[in-house]
Amino acid sequence: MKHSIERRQRIWGRPNPLTVVKSLHTVIWAFFAACILAIPVLVFAERRNMALVVIGIVSIEVLIIVTNGWHCPLTDVAARYTSDRRDNFDIYLPIWLARYNKAIFGTLFAMGVLYTAVRFLR
């Protein structure tokens, strides 16, 4: 097994740490983006308990971002491996989406929570 890994690393080279961080950050971002988009769908489908679970999961991520100076902790990790500071230096997103990510998904999250509250009160 060890020989196989060493052989693969010789052939393909060791993964670039920035590539690993950006890939991980992108997968995590996609998970939370999907959660945010799922909230109104779940509420509309009357899966309110599941919607509340998803809201809770996203709220934990929001708390992490807020306590980390309004950015993902993986941004700090990525910054160790590059001097690039474009809006998407730490994630595989188009620059416009990386730039406005918090505004777009923050608004969608707030609207999903509001929609959930309205549907619960009916």
Which pLDDT tens digit goes with each residue over 45-96? 999 999 999 999 999 999 999 999 999 999 999 999 999 999 999 999 999 9
Residue 9 within any structural domain of the chain = no
Name the residue with higher pLDDT: 91 or 10: 91
What does the pLDDT average to over 31-43?
Answer: 98
Residue 78 lies in a domain: yes
Q: Which pLDDT belongs to residue 122?
A: 84
Q: Which domain holds residue 92?
A: 16-121
pTM of the model: 0.86
Domains contained in the chain, number: 1
8 domain residue, yes or no: no
Q: What is the pLDDT of residue 14?
A: 84
Whether 25 is covered by a domain: the verdict is yes
Q: Which of 50, 72, 54, 51 shows the shortest CA–CA distance to 63?
A: 72
- Nearest Cα to Cα of residue 35 among 15, 52, 10: 52
